[in-house]
Amino acid sequence: MVDIISRITGMTSYAHVNREISHGGIFLAGLGTLRVRSASLPPTLANGMIRLTVSKYGVVQDVRNETWSQLYRYYVSNRIRVVTMHLTEHAPSHIYIAGQRALFLT
C-alpha cells in the first residue's frame, strides 16, 4: 500500500460518468482498533501467551474468553478468544501460538 501511494505521489483523479474529473488525495491511515476472534486454541493456553504473540501486529488492549449466550444459567466458554487490539500492521488469518495453529477472524 505504501508503495502504491508513493508511486502516485498521493494524488489521483476520478472520471465521473458525465466526464467530469475530480482530483483527490490518498493518505495512509492507521488500521484502527479491531476485535479479532481466535479459534482452534486449547483452553489451557494462557491469554498472556496470545497477547505476547499477537503484539507484533499492534497494541493489544484486551484478551478475554468468549462464552455462550447469557440465556444459559452458567457462563460456559465456547473456546473462542476475543483479542481487542489497535493494529499497526496487517495480521494474517492464521497465526501459530505456542505451536498451535490459530484461526484469526476479523
**pLDDT at residue 22 above 80?**
yes
- Pick the more confident residue, 48 or 34: 48
All cell numbers assigned to 70? 447469557
Rounded average pLDDT over 73-90: 84
- For residue 82, give the nearest of 54, 63, 103, 57 by alpha carbon: 63
Phi, psi of 89 (to 5 degrees): -150, 165
Q: Tens of pLDDT along 45-74?
A: 999 999 999 999 889 999 998 888 777 777
All cell numbers assigned to 73? 444459567
Going from N- to C-terminal start, the domains of the chain cover: 1-29, 33-105
- Whether 2 contacts 74, CB under 8 Å: no
**Per-residue DSSP letter, 75:** -
- Whether 62 contacts 93, CB under 8 Å: no
Superfamily the domain 33-105 falls into: RRM (RNA recognition motif) domain (3.30.70.330)
* Whole-number Å distance between alpha carbons of 32 and 55: 14
